[in-house]
A and B are shown apart, each in its own frame.
Chain A
Amino acid sequence: MTGSENTAAAIIISVITALLADNFVFGRAFGVSTMMIAARNKRYLPGVCLGVCYFTLAGSAAGRFLALNEYLELSKPYLPLVYAAVIGLVYAVTLVGAFLIFRSRFARIKKYVHISAFNSAVMGTIFLSANGAATGGSFVLFGLCAGAGFTGAAYMLSGVYPKLCSENVPAAFRGYPAIMIFTGIIAMAVYGILGRVPMYM
């Protein structure tokens, strides 16, 4: 195998691991409510997933930048302010970019941007990337894996969403409680694969 083939194989394995074992939603409970919004309507699903992937990638890159920049060494109370500023900046730039590039479809695109930008999956990615992504390309891979984990979970839930909300389910469990139990069962399977709770702190 050549070097590039090795890298490609490593990326594929990492993404599969993110989908199955170290999944952001099932293992760390990040972005659960955004996942429910995405899974509710199959028409919105690709847009929201793409949006979350974009923001986790951008968030991971920002986290890497914050970790590398010694001048920005922050004490803990100020972390959220910087993280919120980073997300806000990416969000504003994305909206302006979408307006300039896709002017005719901007009204539709901005919905996805609103849903995808401010959620725990993106915030968690920035935090974990700033604290954990050590080598050059690792932050790209980390952002990609976070987005892939969310996408996998959202697609999985979208497959059963209509059934979990159907009249066949007892009224007390219909909808949200059934979704939580479903997510818990999948999380249990993920826990079984990994054999431990992922390090999230």
Chain B
Amino acid sequence: MKTEKKSEKKWSFFDGILIHNPVFEAGMSIAPAVIIGSTLEGAAVYAAFFSAVTFISLIISSFLPRKIPYALRIILYTAAAAIVYIPVYIFLDRVIPSDLAKLGVFLPMIVTGEFVVSASEMRFFRMGRKRMTADIISHVIGYDIAIIFLGAVRELFSMGGINGEIYGIKTVIPILSAPCGGFILIGFIGAFIRICAKK
């Protein structure tokens, strides 16, 4: 009982945004952050798509009884995400068709991503419903902020501008837009967040 109270006190809505950020601290869904998060536009479109599919599918999956065997639960979680994916894709394809087409392989990957498959079981579904909903929102916001921030910084410093607008940055680092630049930047930002969290 005491430990339960302790863990309740420790939880904060901002965990998913800062000290348990999915990209910078927890290592969840890194592939899109590294590849898509090289331009602001791609990152913003992906963030919108990811948020809708992940949040809705996790809420639906949370209603599945825990009595169902683990192996079957995982299949049902991915199936729920894949079903939610359909209307979200159709809607966004009408609004931003050209942007969505650029995301290719990374959109279908959402349905088997760490949020749906592992974090659901290891973290979200172990909480009460209210806290779970808040925690999912916090982590989704944390992921969106991370990927959009990466997209903006990497595009700005690898191309000297954002979305074709040049901002007069004279020294650009083209390799920052490559996967290696994404990995290294994630590592440094992760360390920076830890230093800030300690202070």
Listed in ascending order, the chain A residues whose CB lies under 8 Å from chain B are 26-33, 36, 76-81, 83-85, 87-88, 91-92, 95, 110, 114, 118-120, 122-124, 127-128, 170-173, 176-181, 183-185, 187-188, 190-191, 197, 200-201
Q: Give the CA-CA distance A9 to B2 in the complex, in Å.
A: 64
A-B contact pairs, 21 of them (CB 8 A): A26-B180, A29-B35, A32-B31, A32-B34, A36-B27, A76-B93, A81-B79, A83-B108, A84-B78, A87-B112, A118-B117, A124-B109, A127-B104, A128-B105, A171-B194, A171-B198, A176-B187, A181-B188, A184-B182, A187-B178, A187-B179
Known: A80-B111, A118-B78. A29 touches B182 (CB 8 A): yes
B187 contacts A181, C-beta separation under 8 Å: yes
Q: Give the CA-CA distance A119 to B26 in the complex, in Å.
A: 16
B75 contacts A88, C-beta separation under 8 Å: yes
New A-B pairs, 7, CB < 8 Å, besides A184-B180, A184-B186: A77-B93, A110-B71, A124-B109, A172-B191, A177-B187, A179-B187, A191-B179
Chain B min CB distance to A34 (Å): 9
Q: How many A-B residue pairs have CB under 8 A?
A: 167
B112 contacts A177, C-beta separation under 8 Å: no
The binding surface of chain B is classed by DSSP as helix
Known: A92-B75, A176-B25. A181 touches B110 (CB 8 A): no
Q: Give the CA-CA distance A94 to B80 in the complex, in Å.
A: 22
Tell me if B99 is interfacial: C-beta within 8 Å of chain A.
no
The binding surface of chain A is classed by DSSP as helix
B74 contacts A200, C-beta separation under 8 Å: no
The 10 residue pairs across chains A and B that have the minimum distance between CB atoms: A184-B183, A180-B187, A201-B104, A184-B184, A181-B187, A187-B180, A188-B180, A177-B190, A29-B34, A81-B82
A188 contacts B35, C-beta separation under 8 Å: no
The residue of chain A having its C-beta at the shortest distance from the C-beta of B103 within the complex is A201
Measured between beta carbons, the chain A residues less than 8 angstroms from B86 are 77-78, 81
B194 contacts A188, C-beta separation under 8 Å: no
Measured between beta carbons, the chain B residues less than 8 angstroms from A128 are 105
Measured between beta carbons, the chain A residues less than 8 angstroms from B198 are 171-172
B112 contacts A77, C-beta separation under 8 Å: no
Q: Give the CA-CA distance A183 to B117 in the complex, in Å.
A: 23
Tell me if B15 is interfacial: C-beta within 8 Å of chain A.
no
Using an 8 Å CB-CB cutoff, how does the interface string of B64-97 with A read, 1 for contact, 0 for none? 0000001100110011011101100110010000
Q: Give the CA-CA distance A39 to B24 in the complex, in Å.
A: 19
Known: A88-B75, A176-B25. A185 touches B184 (CB 8 A): yes
A118 contacts B85, C-beta separation under 8 Å: no
Measured between beta carbons, the chain B residues less than 8 angstroms from A95 are 71
The residue of chain A having its C-beta at the shortest distance from the C-beta of B72 within the complex is A92
Chain B min CB distance to A60 (Å): 14
B175 contacts A188, C-beta separation under 8 Å: yes
Measured between beta carbons, the chain A residues less than 8 angstroms from B187 are 173, 176-181, 184
Measured between beta carbons, the chain B residues less than 8 angstroms from A80 are 81-82, 85, 107-108, 110-111
Chain B min CB distance to A174 (Å): 9
Measured between beta carbons, the chain A residues less than 8 angstroms from B30 are 29, 32-33
The residue of chain B having its C-beta at the shortest distance from the C-beta of A199 within the complex is B104
The residue of chain B having its C-beta at the shortest distance from the C-beta of A117 within the complex is B74
Q: Give the CA-CA distance A77 to B195 in the complex, in Å.
A: 42
The residue of chain A having its C-beta at the shortest distance from the C-beta of B53 within the complex is A80
Q: Give the CA-CA distance A27 to B112 in the complex, in Å.
A: 20
